[in-house]
Structure 1
Amino acid sequence: MKVEQIYTGCLAEAAYYIESDGEAAIIDPLRETKPYLDKLREEGAELKYIFETHFHADFVSGHIDLAKKTGATIVYGPKAETAFDKHMATDGEEIKLGKLTIKVLHTPGHTPESTTFLLIDEKGKEHSIFTGDTLFIGDVGRPDLAQKTGEVTTEDLAGWLFDSLREKIMTLPDEVIVYPGHGAGSACGKNMSDETWDTLGNQKKTNYALRADMTKEEFIKELTAGLMPPPQYFAANAKMNKAGYASFDQVLETGAVALDPASFEEVVEQHEALVLDTRSEAAFRESHIPNSIFIGIDGNFAPWVGALIGDLQQPIVFLAEAGREEEVVTRLARVGYDNTLGFLNGGIDAWKAAGKETDSVEAITAVEYAKRLAEGEVPTTLDVRKPTEFLSQHVTTARNFPLDYINKNMNRLERNETYYLHCLGGYRSLITASILKARGFHNLVDIIGGWRAIEASEAPVTDYACPSTLSQDTIDEAINAVA
């Protein structure tokens, strides 16, 4: 028996490879099929099943392409109606894989069709559960992503999840290994651990949602409190996973096209394409194409693309570090952005050599920022972190202006005012600066290093408490103020 977790950090997503006697299964694959096909060839195994724990909202799964290329059967649990062929398993159904058995446990709550797959080894022992977004390490899935025009409420789903956990999962032996669909950093939960697997027994001791003395009413209240609105692309991704999508191979072929500066500019004009700059923070800050948007490939790239670019069909051209062009197209496609039309061949140097205009972002160190505050200058500071981050500790005079809600809140800013921007480390504030500059806000100063650098300087700060000690009313009030 072989069980391998395939973890993708930029999406905090875990897929799984299971093999026995030359037969393999993959659980919750990402969009690109090559890594899985390569793995199958290396192991000399035949892919028999592709298990999907639910209709993913935070990424586009590779189930359809993978099934077409291998002939494997796509398996969902109950209530998973799709536009493509699949096997919709029944609750309690047992599926054979070599000498192994995979038992279907319908665990609705995160979504109505959410299913946990229980792996039973060659000796008949319950070995591990693949929980998708039902149970995370330290958390459980949010229950607000699958509502249908009022037919099912968030509270209904939370109640179903309570029952699923206690009737289907917590009854399993403590030594069973929990393999979740996500780790820390995913927007599918509120308080996930950095760990990517654990034993069920340890989760019963440490996961707040599995407390033995917890009532259903307490569970629903705790689970639904303080939920940030889901990113806008979640619903579109879930629809693609349910209805189907274009071949990833075709997306890659049309997206990874090298364009010279003249062709690049022509594509932008003809298709009203968005110019996405995926280079480093320092490179963008120093020199970039006017009106381009920075979302660096080395940060939480795909989730921020999904949160900030409202139309999945938006034509996109991009700048990337040499050799990383296919990576950019791949990571865009993972969250459903399939309309990539090419990249600037030769990057910003080619753009400059062609005599094209460039722009830059003014920036200062945290030490210089603290100095200006100490000298009596009180710049308008926009702290672009999430409300809970802002509440825990912030510069005394700063305003919370979360990047998550920038498109809704831009009308609260004045174009002739100077704004100093910071986040935790510098990534989000530069994204914010690029979006604001593209919308006509040019009096911007980015604080290099963000809050970490500010905290180490002598800037006056307001010190509250860690987010876990803040009252829920305080958190909800802060979220409502900016959302």
Structure 2
Amino acid sequence: MKIEQIYTGCLAQGAYYIESEGEAAIVDPLRETGPYLRRAHESGADIKYIFETHFHADFVSGHVTLSKETGAPIVYGPLANPSFEAIIAEDQQEFVLGKIRIRALHTPGHTMESTTYLLIDENGKDHAIFSGDTLFLGDVGRPDLAQKAADMTQEQLAGMLFDSLRSKIMPLADDVIVYPAHGAGSACGKNMMKETVDTLGNQKKMNYALRADMTREEFIREVTEGLLPPPKYFPANVKLNREGYEDLGEILERGTRALSPEAFEARANETAAVILDVRHQDEFVKGHIPRSIFIGLKGDFAPWVGALIADVKQPILLVTPAGNEEETVTRLSRVGFDNTLGYLEGGFESWIASGKETDSLESEAPEEISEILAKKENQVFDVRKESEFAAEHLEDAVNTPLSVLNDHLAEFPSDKPFYVYCAGGYRSVIAASILKSRGIHNLVDIAGGFTAMKKACLPTTDFVCPSTRQS
């Protein structure tokens, strides 16, 4: 028996390859199916089943394509209602894979169809669970995403999740291995651990939601409090996962068309496409196409695209580092952004060579503007998460998290300079690019973000510069 976790860091997502006696199963595959096909080919195995724990909201699964390519059926748990052919398993139904069995445990709460798959080894021993978004390491799935579809409140769904955990998962042995669908960084939970595999016994000790003495009311309160609004692209991804989607090969063919600067500009004007620049933030700061949006590939690229470009059908044109065109289109497609129309051939350098208009972003190191900031004459905006801001921040800074920036554009001054910072410089450049695309140019990015400000010993709350700290 083999179990392999195939983890994608930028989505904090875990897919799984399971194999026994030449038969393989895939749990929660990503949209690009190549890694699973290659893995099965390496072992000389045939993919027999494709298990989906639920209709994912934060990424587009590869289940439909993988089923077409292999002939393997897609398996969902009870209450799933896909538009394509699939096995809708009954609670406790088992599927034979070589010498092992996989049992469907219906665990509603995150969504109504949410199902945990229990792997029973060749000796009949419970070995592992593939818990999807029902149980994470350190947390459980948020119960507010499926309210509309289920015609229930988040409190009612949280109550169902409480029952699912205590009737289906917590009675399992402590040595059962937990393989969740997501890790730290995912928007599907609040407080996930950085580890991606653990034992159920340790989770019973570490996970607040699995406290043995926890009442139903306590669980509902703790699971629902502090939930941030989900990214706006989540419903669109659920729809794609439930109804099916365009083949990735066709999306890649369309999205990786090389366009000359003239053709690129014409295409942008004809389609009202967003020009998405995915280079490093330092390159964007130095020069970029006017009104283009920066979201760099080196950060949490796909989730930020989903959070900030709400419409997955939005036409997109790309400015990429050379050789990263296919990767960019693929990563966009993982979150349902399939309408990429091509990329700028020769990159930003070709745009400059063509003599077309360019723009840049004013960015200053903290030590260069410390005196200006000390006068407190200009507003400073912190675009980090609320939790980061609460821990420590520049004195008198205003917290405007990047995830909700588009809802607060009117709050930025238009008549005098203001400053923007994040933790290290990635998110603040994204924010600055969005503001500039909306005609707000009187801003300065604080290079290096809060990390650099602490090193420069600028006045912050809950932080004392080493040179002034009292014993």
TM class by shorter chain equals: over 0.9
**Is 1:305 aligned to 2:292, yes or no?**
no
CA–CA distance in structure 2, aligned partners of residues 27 and 308 of structure 1: 29
Where does residue 197 of structure 1 map in the other structure?
197
The reply on whether 1:219 has 2:219 as its aligned counterpart is: yes
Distance (Å, rounded) in 2 between the aligned partners of 1:65 and 1:162: 34
Structure 1 partner of 2:252? 252
Structure-2 residue corresponding to 1:479: none
Amino acid at match of 2:381: L
What's the CA shift string for 1:8-33, capped at 9, x where partnerless? Answer: 00000000000011100000000111
* Counterpart Cα distance in 2 of 1:428 and 1:443: 18
- Out of 352-361 and 410-419, give the one that drifted further: 410-419
State the alpha-carbon separation in 2 of the partners of residues 267 and 428 from structure 1: 28
Partner of 1:229: 229
2:250 & 2:232 partners in 1: Cα distance?
Answer: 25
Structure-2 separation of matches of 1:330 and 1:109: 31
Q: What does 1:359-370 align with in structure 2 at a 5 Å threshold?
A: 359-370=359-370
Matched, 1:400 2:399: yes
Distance 1:165 1:147 in 2: 19
Partner of 2:73: 73
> Does 2:290 align with 1:290?
yes
Amino acid corresponding to residue 420 of structure 2 in structure 1 = L
Does the C-alpha gap of structure 1 residues 265 and 303 become closer, same or farther in structure 2, counting only changes over 3 Å?
Answer: same
Kindly provide the amino acid, as one letter, of the partner of residue 236 in structure 1.
A
The structural deviation recorded for 1:379 is: 2.3
CA contact (8 A) 1:78 1:89 kept: yes
Superimposed CA distance per residue, residues 35-74 of structure 1 (whole angstroms, 9 cap, x where no aligned partner): 1111121111101100000000000000000000110010
Any idea what SS the aligned residue of 1:79 has?
A: coil
Q: Specify the alignment match of 1:439 in structure 2.
A: 438
Q: What is the root-mean-square deviation in Å for CA atoms of aligned residues? A: 1.1
SS at match of 1:421: strand
Once residues 14 and 415 of structure 2 are traced to their aligned partners in structure 1, the CA distance between those partners, rounded to angstroms, is 46
Match of 2:38 in 1: 38
Q: Does the 8 A contact of 2:378 with 2:416 survive in 1? A: no
Q: Helix, strand or coil for the counterpart of 1:251?
A: helix
Tell me if structure 1 keeps the 8 A contact 2:56–2:238. yes
Q: 2:240 maps to which residue?
A: 240
Secondary structure in 2 aligned to 1:391? helix
2:182 equivalent in structure 1: 182
What is the distance in 2 between the residues matched to 1:320 and 1:438? 18
Please say which of residues 446-455 and 65-74 is displaced more in the overlay.
Answer: 446-455
Contact 1:424 1:449 in 2 (8 A): yes
Q: Structure 2 counterpart of 1:38, which letter?
A: R
Equivalent residue number for residue 478 of structure 1: none
1:81-129 Cα offsets, whole Å, 9 max, x none, are: 0100000000000110011100100000110100000001111111000
Amino acid of the structure 2 residue aligned with 1:310: A
Partners of 1:393 and 1:301 lie apart in 2 by 25
Asked if residue 411 in structure 1 is aligned to residue 410 in structure 2, the reply is: yes
Q: TM-score, normalised to structure 1's length? A: 0.94
Counterpart of 2:386?
A: 387
CA spacing shift, 1:35–1:150, aligned 2, 3 Å: closer
1:454 is aligned to 453
Q: Which residue pairs with 2:113 in the alignment?
A: 113
Letter in 2 for 1:403: L
Deviations 1:239-270 (A, max 9, x none): 11001111111111111111111111111011
Amino acid at match of 1:409: H
Tell me the residue number matched to 2:377.
378
3-state SS, counterpart of residue 40 of structure 1? helix
Amino acid at match of 2:179: Y
Deviation at 1:417, TM superposition (A): 2.5
Q: CA shift at 1:388, angstroms?
A: 1.7
1:154-169 alignment to 2 at 5 Å? 154-169=154-169
The one-letter code sitting in structure 2 at the alignment partner of 1:445 is V
Q: Distance in 2 between matches of 1:406 and 1:433?
A: 10
Which amino acid in structure 2 is aligned with residue 421 of structure 1?
V
Q: Contact (CA 8 Å) 1:15, 1:28: kept in 2 or not? A: yes
Q: Is 1:280 matched up with 2:280?
A: yes
What's the TM-score once normalised by structure 2's chain length?
Answer: 0.97
Are 1:370 and 1:454, in contact at CA under 8 Å, matched by a contact in 2? no
Instruction: Provide the rounded CA distance (Å) in 1 between the counterparts of 2:333 and 2:327.
Output: 10
Q: Distance in 1 between matches of 2:187 and 2:395?
A: 29
What does residue 481 of structure 1 align with?
A: none
2:336 aligned residue: 336
Deviates more, 1:183-192 or 1:407-416: 407-416
In 2, the alpha carbon distance for the partners of 1:207 and 1:64 equals 34
Q: CA deviation at 1:377?
A: 4.8
Identical-pair percentage: 61
**Distance in 1, Cα, partners of 2:219 & 2:461:** 32
* Deviation of the 1:149 alpha carbon: 6.5
Is 2:87 the partner of 1:87?
A: yes
Match of 1:423 in 2: 422
Shift of 1:414: 2.6
Q: Are 2:29 and 1:29 aligned? A: yes
Q: Which amino acid aligns with 1:427?
A: Y
> What is residue 4 of structure 1 aligned with on the other side?
4
Deviations 1:277-298 (A, max 9, x none): 0000110000100000000011
Alignment partners' CA distance in 1, 2:244 and 2:6:
23
CA distance in 1, matches of 2:142, 2:222: 11
1:385-429 residue CA offsets vs partner (Å, 9 max, x unmatched) = 111211111111111111111111111223223110001111111
Indicate if the aligned counterparts of 1:370 and 1:458 stay in contact, CA closer than 8 A.
no
How far has the Cα of 1:449 moved from its partner?
1.1
CA distance in 2, matches of 1:367, 1:131: 48
Letter in 1 for 2:284: F
What is the alpha-carbon distance in structure 1 between the residues aligned to residue 453 and residue 95 of structure 2? 55
> Gapped runs of 5+ residues in structure 1?
465-483
CA deviation after TM superposition for structure 1 residue 150, in Å:
7.6
SS at match of 1:148: helix
**Whole-angstrom distance in 1 between the partners of 2:440 and 2:151:** 43
Shift of 1:444: 0.9
Provide the rounded CA distance (Å) in 1 between the counterparts of 2:259 and 2:44.
Answer: 40
Shift of 1:463: 1.8
Give the Cα–Cα distance (whole angstroms) in 1 for the partners of residues 201 and 10 of structure 2.
29
Residue correspondence of structure 1 range 99-178 to structure 2 within 5 A:
99-148=99-148, 151-178=151-178
d(CA) in 1 for partners of 2:301 and 2:416?
A: 29
Partners of 1:415 and 1:440 within 8 A in 2? no
Q: Do the aligned residues in 2 keep the contact of 1:371 with 1:459 (CA within 8 Å)?
A: no
Deviation at 1:347, TM superposition (A): 0.5
Aligned residue for 2:147, secondary structure, equals coil
In 2, the alpha carbon distance for the partners of 1:201 and 1:149 equals 33
Q: CA deviation at 1:453?
A: 1.2
Question: Deviation of residue 458 (structure 1)?
Answer: 1.6
Amino acid at match of 2:186: S
| Larger mean Cα displacement after TM superposition, 275-284 or 362-371 | 362-371
Q: Distance in 1 between matches of 2:368 and 2:440?
A: 22
